Amino acid sequence: MNKAKIAIFGCGWLGEPLAFALQAQGWLVSVCRRDTEQVDRLVLSGLDAHVINVTASQVIGDVGAWCAQAEVVIVMLPPRSKSQTPDIYQQQINQLVIALQAQHVKKVIFVSTTGVYAQGDHLLTETSPLKQGSVLVDAEKKMQAAFSSIILRFSGLVDKNRTPARFLAGKQLEAGLTPTNLIHQADCIAVISQLLAQDWQPDIYNVSTENGLARADFYIAATAHAGLIPPVFTNANSQPKRSVSSQKILQYLNYQFQYPNILTWLTNGT
């Protein structure tokens, strides 16, 4: 027997494998992307996919065909800091909220990031201070005001095709003593899957491996393993206590990360 319908806004690096995972678990899954060719590819691969594009002034596409009667909508709409101004993202979120409300959506999982936290040399929990003026903080609040929402704050996302070594190879960097905060794609998918299997409870959760190595140690080892030029770090502006706590989600789901040590996974494949 099929489970309820799950609609996913954004079917890219995380959304696509999540969609296949949920479909394999028996959920009715509907996804959307902006690009027609990508949507055609997703349809051929077996997904119910639709062309939906959200702009600052409207949502273009058949929103009803995508998310009508969805039990939960999973929103993956990050700001494009290099190609748009913050106000455009805020307007996009506004338009998406209006479109979802028009379809009588009640429950939303909003994928955010631990980048919403304000600077400070302390352990980051879900109640830590947030960045003033952050468009993602604003988006979280809008989702919470409009829907019964679960906010997932993921740390840096990695998998075999998105290895962290290449991001910093050869660079001159500060904050060498600040911990690395990363999470594997497989754990992101598993956490979302398990949340959907629970009785619905709106909340906010960090999702990040804990007790990461200092950035200098991690990225020098990661680039060496990949055969890349290592970055050069200084300890200036380090925040050695700035690690992300995921204890709230781990305890709630009684979950253990599949990849608790990203450097071990990266260098040993385990």
| pLDDT given at position 2 | 60
Q: How far is CA 105 from the centre of its chain?
A: 21
Distance CA 124, CA 2 (A): 38
**Residue range 49-59, pLDDT digits in tens:** 999 999 999 99
Instruction: Please answer whether residues 231 and 220 qualify as being in contact, where contact means their C-beta atoms are separated by less than 8 angstroms.
Output: yes
Predicted local distance difference test score (pLDDT) of residue 270: 61
> What confidence score (pLDDT) does residue 164 get?
85
Q: Say what the pLDDT of residue 3 is.
A: 82
% of the chain exceeding 90 in pLDDT? 90
Give me the helix-helix angle, 135-146 and 86-102, nearest 10°: 10
Question: Which of 15-19, 174-178, 192-196, 210-214 shows the lowest per-residue confidence on average (mean pLDDT)?
Answer: 210-214
Render pLDDT for 106-141 as a digit per residue (tens, 0 to 9).
999 999 999 999 999 999 999 999 999 999 999 999
Kindly report the backbone phi and psi dihedral angles of residue 98, in degrees, each rounded to the nearest multiple of 5, phi listed first.
-60, -45
Angle at 255 between CA 249 and CA 221, to 5 degrees: 90
DSSP codes, 8-38: EE--STTHHHHHHHHHHTT-EEEEEES-HHH
Question: Got the DSSP string for 219-240?
Answer: HHHHHHHHT-PPPEE--TT--T
Q: Strand 148-154 and strand 107-113: pairing? A: parallel
Question: What pLDDT score does 161 carry?
Answer: 87
Lowest mean pLDDT among 89-93, 182-186, 266-270: 266-270
Confidence of residue 85 (pLDDT cuts 50, 70, 90): confident
**Residue 141 contacts by C-beta under 8 Å, 6 or more apart in sequence?**
none
* pLDDT at residue 133, as a whole number: 93
* CA–CA separation, 182 and 167 (whole Å): 13
**Interatomic CA distance for residues 142 and 140, integer angstroms:** 5
The predicted pLDDT at position 163 comes to 86
Please compute the mean of the pLDDT values over residues 219-227 and round it to a whole number: 93
Per the DSSP assignment, residues forming a β-bridge with 205 are 152
Residue keyed to tokens 């608790």: 260
Provide the residue type at 143 as one letter. Answer: M
**How many Cβ atoms from other residues are within 10 Å of residue 216's Cβ?**
22
Does residue 230 have a pLDDT over 60?
A: yes
Q: Which amino acid is at 141?
A: K
What's the pLDDT score for residue 1?
44
3-state secondary structure of 120: coil
